Amino acid sequence: MPRSGSIRLNFIHLPITTSLYIIGMVLSLKNLRIQRHAYISTHSYSYSSSSSRLNSFQLTTNVEFKESSYKINHNDHCMFVGSCFSEHMSNLLKKGKFPITSNPHGIMFNPISISNSIEDVVKLRHYTKSDLFTDLVTKDIHHSWSHHSSFSRTNEEIDDMVSNINSHIEVAHRSLVSSKILFVTLGTAFVHQLISNSKVVSNCHKRKYIYTSTTTSSSDIYGS
């Protein structure tokens, strides 16, 4: 099967009589289409009946939400951690001028990485250059197994990268202490683990040859 986003073209050889028959069909359809356009252009045609029938169809699903008794206001600090849904929701609330902190390690999807991120924030973990690794393809970009690629930097910016990572953790720590709600959005139970030490990574950074993939169980999640 072709991968998502790819197209496979299959070429077949047809007898000459079959090929001529298909060409004849195509030309007939083309001629019919030309005649149809000529008919529409020379005759008045009303689309009102068709439009009314289309409008009668319900093409959306209406979902009614009961108003929650638990509410937040602009004095309540909230923190979001997890998937891109968490990122989008936090951005919407920020536009509404709510005090929001989101994803101190960047977007992540599996529950173990999200749990590790929250633990880093609670314990105020301090990252150093030894926690980073160099991209073997570009040989100029540094990544962190615990962070989204938006934190990655070049060799010249490695000090800024470490500073930026620790700054996000410090801000998130202060925010978590004062937050009324911690929103956690999960994206998948599928995780990547380093072959060398079985560590679950938050982002594989497309280095397929040094990790293996597996699915987390409920015991793995609770144990983390």
Q: How far apart are CA 110 and CA 190, in angstroms?
A: 6
Is residue 2 one of the residues assigned to a domain? no
Q: What is the pLDDT of residue 111?
A: 93
- Into how many domains does the chain fold? 1
User: What pLDDT band is residue 10 in, cutting at 50, 70 and 90?
Assistant: very low
The answer as to whether 28 is a domain residue is no
Structural domain containing residue 146: 77-223
Q: State yes or no: pLDDT of 93 exceeds 90.
A: yes
**Residue 213 bridge partners (DSSP):** 192
141: left (phi over 0), alpha (psi -120 to 50) or beta: beta
Q: Is the per-residue pLDDT at 132 higher than 80?
A: yes
Return d(Cα 172, Cα 202) in angstroms, integer.
18
Which ranges constitute the DSSP H helices of 126-193?
158-178
Confidence of residue 26 (pLDDT cuts 50, 70, 90): very low
More confident residue, 45 or 133: 133
Of 98, 105, 107, nearest in space to 172 by CA? 105
Q: Residue 90 phi/psi, 5° resolution?
A: -65, -35
**Average pLDDT over all residues of the chain:** 80
Token pair belonging to 173: 């720590």
Contacts of 192 (CB under 8 A, 6+ apart): 200, 201, 204, 211, 212, 213
Q: Say if 65 falls within a structural domain.
A: no
Domain membership flag for residue 63 = no
Six-digit token string for 213: 């993939």
Is 30 within the bounds of a domain?
A: no
Pairwise pLDDT comparison (220 vs 15), residue with the higher score: 220
User: Which pLDDT belongs to residue 197?
Assistant: 87
Residues composing the chain: 224
Share of the chain above pLDDT 90, in %: 51
pLDDT of residue 50: 55
Asked whether residue 103 is assigned to any structural domain, the reply reads yes
Local confidence band at 87 (pLDDT 50, 70, 90 cut-offs): very high
